[in-house]
Structure 1
Amino acid sequence: MEASFWHQKWERGEIAFHQSEANPFLLAHFEKLNLAKNSRVFLPLCGKTRDFACLLAGGYRVVGAELSELAVNELFKELGLEPNISTAGKLTRYSAKDIDILAGDIFDVSAELLGAISAIYDRAALVALPSGIRERYTSHLMNISGTAPQLLITYEYDQRLMDGPPFSVTENEVRWHYEAAYRLRPVESKNIADKLKGKVAATETAWLLQNANK
Structure 2
Amino acid sequence: MKASFWHQKWERGDIGFHENEANPLLIEHFEKLNLAKSGRVFLPLCGKSRDYAWLLASGYQVVGAELSELAITELFKELGLEPEISKVGKLIRYSAKDIDMLVGDIFDVSAEYLGPINAIYDRAALVALPAFIRQQYTSHLMNITNAAPQLLISYEYNQLLMEGPPFSVNENEVKQHYGATYQLKSVDIKNIAGGLKGKVSSTETAWLLQQTNK
Same fold at TM > 0.5: yes
Provide the residue aligned with 1:201 in structure 2: 201
Provide the residue aligned with 1:82 in structure 2: 82
Q: Which amino acid aligns with 2:50?
A: R
Provide the residue aligned with 1:29 in structure 2: 29
SS at match of 2:160: helix
Q: Give the drift of 1:172.
A: 0.2
Matched ranges for 1:39-54 at <5 A: 39-54=39-54
Q: Give the drift of 1:148.
A: 0.3
Greater than 2 Å deviation, 4+ residue runs: none
Aligned alpha-carbon RMSD (Å): 0.3
Q: Give the drift of 1:155.
A: 0.2
Provide the residue aligned with 1:167 in structure 2: 167
Counterpart CA distance in 2 for 1:16 and 1:171 is 25
Instruction: Could you tell me which runs of 5 or more consecutive residues in structure 2 were left unpaired when the two chains were aligned.
Output: none
For the pair 1:136 / 2:104, whether they are aligned, the reply is no
Q: Which amino acid aligns with 2:81?
A: L
Q: Give the drift of 1:213.
A: 1.1
Provide the residue aligned with 2:114 in structure 1: 114
Provide the residue aligned with 1:72 in structure 2: 72
Counterpart CA distance in 1 for 2:83 and 2:96 is 5
Matched ranges for 1:176-187 at <5 A: 176-187=176-187
Q: Which amino acid aligns with 1:25?
A: L
Matched ranges for 1:49-64 at <5 A: 49-64=49-64
Q: Give the drift of 1:133.
A: 0.5
Counterpart CA distance in 1 for 2:18 and 2:213 is 35
Q: Which amino acid aligns with 2:62?
A: V
For the pair 1:152 / 2:160, whether they are aligned, the reply is no
Aligned residues: 214
Instruction: Could you tell me which runs of 5 or more consecutive residues in structure 1 were left unpaired when the two chains were aligned.
Output: none
Percent of residue pairs bearing the same amino acid type: 75
Q: Give the drift of 1:59.
A: 0.2
Q: Give the drift of 1:93.
A: 0.1
Counterpart CA distance in 2 for 1:213 and 1:197 is 39
Q: Which amino acid aligns with 1:88?
A: V
Q: Give the drift of 1:3.
A: 0.2
SS at match of 1:63: strand
Counterpart CA distance in 1 for 2:178 and 2:212 is 10
Counterpart CA distance in 2 for 1:97 and 1:183 is 33
Q: Give the drift of 1:108.
A: 0.1
Counterpart CA distance in 2 for 1:31 and 1:88 is 32
Q: TM-score, normalised by structure 2?
A: 1.00
SS at match of 1:27: helix
Q: C-alpha deviations, 1:139-164, integer Å up to 9, x for none? A: 00000000000000000000000000
Q: C-alpha deviations, 1:82-131, integer Å up to 9, x for none? A: 00000011000000000000000000000000000100000000000000
